[in-house]
Structure 1
Amino acid sequence: MATGGLKDSNRDNAGDFIGECSVTQACEPCMKGNISKPATVFCDDCDEYLCDSCTNPHKVYNTAKKHNIVGYVEIVEMKGMDRCVEHNKKIKFYCQDHAKLCCTSCLTVHVKCGQLEEIDSVPEIELPDICDLKHSLIKLDSDADFIIAESKRQDSDLNKSVSKVNAELDAIQIRILKLFKEAQNNVQSEATAFKSEDINRSQTVCTKVKEDLHTILTICSAIAERGTPQQKYIILKRMEENNNMIQAEQVTLDLSLSYPRELTSLLEMGKDFIKLQIQKVKTSHISLSSQPRPLILKLLVSVDLPQTGDDKEKPLLSGLDFLTDGRLVAVDSWNMKCIILNERLQRLGTPYKFKNHPYSVVCVSHDTLCVTIAGQLVYLLSVSTDNTITLTRKITTSSEFDSICCMSPSNMVVSTFDDPRPVRMISVDGVETDFDHILTFPKKTYKADESACTYVQSKNTLVLTDRFAHTVYMHDTLKGTSRAVTNENIQEPRGACVGPGDTVLVCSENKNSIVHLTIDGKILGTYPVDMEFPHSICVSKDDTRLAVSNNVKGIKKLHLYKISPVMS
């Protein structure tokens, strides 16, 4: 398989399923003659898209290259990750001496290096499984978040250290008031300059790393399935580069003053008689396998959900999910609506009206929603940038589906009711499959609102809540093992979603709280919410916000929280 290198704006029609990238591309030789014809193959050596008619002449009239022709469907879009940052050329080498991916232009600097490796010659057997690296990438993204937050905390600590330094200077201020004031200003200036340069640089580096990681994550699945050894090698080295950059920023600051013991000579030394000492101390290592951290939830917005003029009932937001651009989607089961909300939880556009009661919703791409509907139905809806919601497909299912979540870009996991199979799978094309061959579920048939599911993709873990058993089940879909999690804080668990760092967040209805768990069943924290009977929950795609709604006969609410990790 080959890398489809995009060189111009004609190669920008990328598909939008999370983790995948499909490209619609015209034949480039035909385009030069003002002819629009779809490409069917790609020449990896010439980096050119071709139709069937142009393929043979391309090889015949250009004999200087080998012409590695591959089928167009085999191309994996690397989104620029296979191009040299400095020269914007295809990456062909890896310099072991400098731990750097190189193009042909880089050879002028690296040609004399002792360990220059040609990527085309790397055996695929030496490469790790890209799927195994996906979890490490997500962890690395979490580590970048940690360092950004830690650098902001250090800014506050640095101010405290400067105050301590000033207190030391105050102790000798009576004897050398004039020189002391000059020294104090000098120290303050050095500290301020350091804060501005070093801490801001650390935040900038980590932010850039996060951008690269998000790019890698969007193509990770495609690389694992169809990527060439060269692409897998490049992705591995890109991750190592980002990891090295993250590790380099993991330092803490220690400020102290140095001054001479013989204070009688101070008047002869001038304003530099005291200097600021800055020492960088390596912090504890944050590796790719760092453990999930507890969270801090800060309430951003809280709204009551009254019955509006066009509502027949008081709203029940039975399903929530975030679009990739941060808009919140909610389905109102009792009033049979799909609603789009902004960051202030204000309604955008006109709600979509269903003919039956919706149960749950999941965002499967930047503009596509899947909604489970009463009467054994699943709707695929399209959401435009101007908040127009359109029905694109209606799927009739063989079971009653309740909650729904993403398992892969084209497959969802659904919980059922009135069916002996409590959890099933359905594709965006409507193909239903079961877990029965790999998993053993509780031998019971749930009624409506008695269970819900979510799926931790990078851990291959299916989560199922059992409301009246006060239990959360963790099922490893690869190993076929299951774990039942019970705890005094888990009372009538309802909705569940994937949290930061491959964790799970569950609504504990009878405790009016949210429980934070690892996939191994460890309780990381319990967070009370100012609402009765929390019911539905979701986390934004960037793991920075959490939305939760309730199901109660009284006042119904919708809360939006900011998520941040607890600093060690």
Structure 2
Amino acid sequence: MAEMGCIYEENYEVPGKVKQINCQPCLKKDKQTKAAKFCSTCDEFQCLDCANVHYTHAFLGSHKLVNANEARTKQGSCNMKGLDQCDQHQEILKFFCEDENQLCCNTCAIVDHRKCHSVVEFLKVVERSTYRRSTLKNKLEEVRQKANIIVDTIDSSKEKLDEDITEMPIKIRRMRDEVIKVFDELEISVVKDAESFQKETLEKLSMKQSQTMKYLADITTFMEMIDNVYQNGSLIQQYIVDQKMQNDVNDLHKNVDAEYQGLETVTVTFDFDETLKLPPLPVTDYVPGQLSVKFRLSDVLASVDKAMSITPVNCINLKQKNNSEKEPLYSGIDFLADGRLVAVDNNNKKFIVYNEKLEEVGSYQLPYSPQSVAAVSKDEAAVTSGGALKLDILRVNIFNDITLERTIKVATKYGWICRQDDEHFVGGTIDHSTPVRIITSTGEEKDFSINFPKKSYRRNTSACTYIKSSDKVVLTDCDEHTVYIYDIKTNTRVLVKDDQIKEPCGVAVGPSDTILVCSDRTNSIVQISQTGHILTLYQTDMIYPRRMCVSRDKSFLAITNACNGKKTLQKIKISY
């Protein structure tokens, strides 16, 4: 019904007056014509002339027309529930102050808005208003939908919370049963081994005991013979016994003494490793687990990762050494466990070793252009070629002598490599449908249980690393200016895309297992948390930072760039 469109000619507060409803289309033409009909579709009171238009135009034929008096009766019964009263004076609202955009009653208009220039009656406001009640209804409908989503989400969260709480003791009991099963199996295995050891040992002891009993029998026989001869025999007989039995007694003494010197008491015990020994504390003080509370809306949570600070320690210029060489281009760098730095020069096909002062202390000529390098063990490093299907393992001894230890043949081209554990590598592929793969120490290749995007990367358009503590893979996309953080356990990912990251072409695991990214086109290092929050940005003093690595103890960072004529290698101290 036309709540704002029922316009009366007479003052509707004066008793006894007959209310006349005017035609709204005519009012818009500054004509006051008594309304005869009401169209519920047009939501207007209309005179006969305006209403007859419904019969002359076919597209208006479906509109519903009723007598104006019937519509007026229904409209007049609307309960405004006090909305048509002034909050301050409790009078009927009649005016609208256009200067202050407020509804006014008589008192408001006279007392509070007497100095305003445009206080008009509702009639004039409604006549020129383009108000549509659907605007409010649409907004309220949108608000209602959001409110319903909030309620449904909270209900779902309550249900999930109840399920999680219920599942906890079940999980603990399940783990307890698994532990008991492990200890049962341990008991069987240990007892079996102990019994086998006991059997073998008893056999040896029995043989030793049996031999000793023979010695005792011989001793008894010899002593009886000696006693008999010395008591009843002649001197000659005693002399013969001494001579005859001298060697036998000496042998017997030697054998028994050897057994005596090697005499052992055999015992067997079983002790747990220190990692399995619980301290003498109540379980509430030593809980073999962790209660975790997680919120799915990670962007609502403030990151607790600490931003690091960096201090340059040393920097060297990478220059062409002689006419036979090209300008160096380090496509990979990494720290060995003892702090030495290894690098691969893509342009000159070299493997180089630097000491802690960034002094070159060794080099090795490669038969191919190396693409990346990763420290494997204390003195070994793996090198990828990006072209040849292999990984070379080079050994660097304490004298910085470099030798080819072994070659691992693979079936995929790798442009980036890092260490996953003692037996596996993580490799970033080149022109392959799976961007990151696992490589074993024997050359077997397999995929992660991650739904990577179906995209292959050209050489130098992506980099990757692996976070062992949380089992996550980090992948950069230079073309999309994006960093992806994949959680292997949950097969989920966090996408990091920010104006501070332009062409991310190098990545490493930094302090507290945060992620460090070389932003090539902003000449900076960006530190990112594993939840995708940018912790801080460090402006480098080099152009186009390209590759970087972090020492094992997370105390040093090395970085190199790819700017022609201005290539450098820099070592940086990390602190908080």
Q: Pick one of 316, 338, 358 that aligns with 2:370.
A: 358
Structure 1 residue 550: Cα displacement = 0.5
In the alignment, what sits opposite 1:57?
201
For residues 164-175 of structure 1, what are the structure 2 equivalents within 5 Å? none
- Aligned 8 A contact 1:376 1:396 in 2: yes
Structure 1 residue 53: Cα displacement = 11
Structure 1 Cα separation of the partners of residues 459 and 203 of structure 2: 62
Alignment-mate amino acid for residue 358 of structure 1: P
Structure 1 Cα separation of the partners of residues 409 and 384 of structure 2: 10
Structure 1 residue 554: Cα displacement = 2.5
Structure 1 Cα separation of the partners of residues 465 and 338 of structure 2: 21
For residues 28-427 of structure 1, what are the structure 2 equivalents within 5 Å? 56-57=200-201, 61=205, 65-66=267-268, 94-96=279-281, 127-128=288-289, 291-309=304-322, 312-349=325-362, 351-373=363-385, 374-427=387-440
In the alignment, what sits opposite 1:492?
503
Structure 1 residue 66: Cα displacement = 4.3
In the alignment, what sits opposite 2:247?
none
Structure 1 residue 323: Cα displacement = 0.6
Structure 1 residue 396: Cα displacement = 2.0
Deviates more, 1:305-314 or 1:551-560: 305-314
Structure 2 Cα separation of the partners of residues 55 and 384 of structure 1: 48
Does the C-alpha gap of structure 1 residues 387 and 56 become closer, same or farther in structure 2, counting only changes over 3 Å?
A: farther
Does the C-alpha gap of structure 1 residues 96 and 393 become closer, same or farther in structure 2, counting only changes over 3 Å?
A: same
Structure 1 residue 291: Cα displacement = 3.1
Query: Identity of counterpart residues, as a percentage?
Result: 37
- Aligned 8 A contact 1:311 1:335 in 2: no
- Aligned 8 A contact 1:463 1:475 in 2: yes
Structure 1 Cα separation of the partners of residues 523 and 278 of structure 2: 56
Structure 2 Cα separation of the partners of residues 383 and 483 of structure 1: 38
Structure 1 Cα separation of the partners of residues 459 and 316 of structure 2: 27
Higher RCO (Cα < 8 Å, 6 or more apart): 1
Query: Aligned pair 1:532/2:543, yes or no?
Result: yes
**Between Structure 1 and Structure 2, how many residues are aligned?**
317
Alignment-mate amino acid for residue 575 of structure 2: S
Instruction: Name the SS of the counterpart of 1:415 in structure 2.
Output: strand
Q: Which has the higher strand share?
A: 1
Structure 1 residue 365: Cα displacement = 1.1
Structure 1 Cα separation of the partners of residues 496 and 277 of structure 2: 49
Please list the CA deviations of residues 39-90 of structure 1 after superposition, one character each: whole Å capped at 9, or x if unmatched: xxxx999xx9xxx999933896588644559xxxxxx9x7xx67xxxxxxxx
Structure 1 residue 344: Cα displacement = 1.5
Instruction: Name the SS of the counterpart of 1:501 in structure 2.
Output: helix
Structure 2 Cα separation of the partners of residues 514 and 327 of structure 1: 22
Does the C-alpha gap of structure 1 residues 95 and 560 become closer, same or farther in structure 2, counting only changes over 3 Å?
A: same
Does the C-alpha gap of structure 1 residues 397 and 467 become closer, same or farther in structure 2, counting only changes over 3 Å?
A: same
Structure 1 residue 128: Cα displacement = 4.1
Alignment-mate amino acid for residue 353 of structure 1: Q
Structure 1 residue 342: Cα displacement = 1.2
In the alignment, what sits opposite 2:24?
none
- Aligned 8 A contact 1:330 1:339 in 2: yes
Structure 1 residue 309: Cα displacement = 2.7
Structure 1 residue 482: Cα displacement = 1.2
Please list the CA deviations of residues 14-55 of structure 1 after superposition, one character each: whole Å capped at 9, or x if unmatched: xxxxxxxxxxxxxxxxxxxxxxxxxxxxx999xx9xxx9999
Please list the CA deviations of residues 127-164 of structure 1 after superposition, one character each: whole Å capped at 9, or x if unmatched: 449xx99xxxxxxxxxxxxxxxxxxxxxxxxxxxxxxx
Structure 1 length-normalised TM: 0.51
In the alignment, what sits opposite 2:78?
none
| Runs of at least 5 residues in structure 2 that lack an aligned partner in the other structure | 1-188, 206-263, 293-302
Structure 2 Cα separation of the partners of residues 560 and 495 of structure 1: 16
In the alignment, what sits opposite 1:479?
490
Does the C-alpha gap of structure 1 residues 531 and 54 become closer, same or farther in structure 2, counting only changes over 3 Å?
A: farther
Structure 1 residue 399: Cα displacement = 1.0
Please list the CA deviations of residues 340-384 of structure 1 after superposition, one character each: whole Å capped at 9, or x if unmatched: 1112211013x1111011111111211111111131221111111
In the alignment, what sits opposite 2:109?
none
Alignment-mate amino acid for residue 474 of structure 1: I
